[in-house]
Amino acid sequence: MSNQTTRTEFLLLGFSDVPELQILHFVLFLVLYLISLLGNFLIITAIALDHHLHTPMYFFLMNLSILDLGSISVTIPKSMANSLMNTRSISYSGCVAQVFLVVFFASADVAILTIMAYDRYIAICQPLHYETVMNRRACVQMAASAWICVLFYSAVHTGNTFAISFCGGNMVEQFFCEVPQLLKLACPDSDLSEVGFLIFSVCLASSCFVFIIMSYVQIFTTVLRIPSEQGQHKAFSTCLPHLIVVSLVICTGIFAYLKPTSSSPSIPNLSVAVLYSVLPPMMNPIIYSMRNKALKGALNKLIVWRLFSKNKMSLFLLQ
């Protein structure tokens, strides 16, 4: 019987043992990763440079993009490196770091999405109090509180996970270190505290989503009372991207964790993991930029300015 004191590494699940398919996996993940990096980086840059977007809604959107950059950078590069080097190993400390960061970015995502729902609720249901309630200091305090609380939560969650004894080998049935898969390797009765913590986590996440749903019930009730059809459309347009992103997170999470469990690791299981770990960070910038005219305009100005700067520099060098 071995435990965590003698364990030095874990083995992650690979997509294939065929070299050609490993290269294909590397290229596919590289494309998805670059799309996510580019999209979120453009969102962050556009909001930071355009003073018209220095409002609470875009401040929290910038936080969300930073979290999306971090979340996809935790899992995808390691999987790409393993495929390229034809290995599946991850060190014990690397697995601890990966669990901590995965939990941190996922939890912070939920926290920021909840704050964004509150921001939309105040803006639409209590517009006269919006400037007072959602002032710059309050926004910074809410975002900082979310990051600090999630940091503490992730540290406790990770410490609780790796305090258990591992007796079931070192093969993690996932392409990254994931808490439910690590619990399958735990010794009998040694993971009860972590199971309890997971139940607490599910209840915490569920309460956040219930808060978001209740906020949107109030928002839709208020919007439908607006006599002007143009006013209704404007109010809905500011909420729709956030609602789509929340729905995407909820649907991928439910699909991943409430699907029937498979007795053996398989490609469909890995595909589901890709769905909830890659799709939201990649799609969030696309959803917001497509449905938000102000953000789309800022992105267009940023791209045009970059192209103009490059052309101007090229002409200067040619002279």
**95, burial (CB in 10 Å: exposed 0-12, middle 13-18, buried 19+):** buried
7 contacts 168 by C-beta, under 8 angstroms: no
pLDDT at 114: 94
Q: At what angle do helices 136-162 and 92-125 cross, to 10 degrees?
A: 150
pLDDT digits (tens, 9 = 90+) for 173-204: 888 888 888 888 877 666 566 677 778 888 88
CA–CA distance, 266 with 273 (Å, rounded to integer): 11
pLDDT at 111: 93
pLDDT at 317: 43
% helix / strand / coil in the chain, to the nearest 5?
A: 80, 5, 20
Containing 9, the helix (H) or strand (E) segment is strand 9-12
For 186, phi then psi, to 5°, come to: -75, 150
Q: List the one residue out of 92, 95, 113, 94 whose CA is nearest residue 2.
A: 92
Residue type, 281: P
CA–CA distance, 161 with 153 (Å, rounded to integer): 12
The domain limits of the chain are 9-292
pLDDT at 313: 46
> Whole-prediction pTM value?
0.85
CA–CA distance, 263 with 128 (Å, rounded to integer): 56
pLDDT at 257: 62
Where the chain has pLDDT below 50, the residues are: 1-5, 312-318
CA–CA distance, 300 with 42 (Å, rounded to integer): 10
- List strands edge to edge, sheet with 89-91: 89-91, 9-12, 171-172
Strand partners, 9: 91
pLDDT digits (tens, 9 = 90+) for 128-154: 889 999 999 999 999 999 999 999 999
**240, burial (CB in 10 Å: exposed 0-12, middle 13-18, buried 19+):** middle
pLDDT at 70: 93
pLDDT at 229: 80
pLDDT at 181: 83
38-42, long-range: CB < 8 A, 24+ apart: 39/282, 39/284, 39/285, 39/286, 39/289, 40/65, 40/66, 40/68, 40/69, 40/281, 40/284, 40/285, 41/65, 41/69, 42/285, 42/289, 42/299, 42/302, 42/303
What topology does CATH give the domain 9-292? Rhopdopsin 7-helix transmembrane proteins (1.20.1070)
- Look at the block and give the residue holding tokens 């909830």: 276
pLDDT at 194: 66
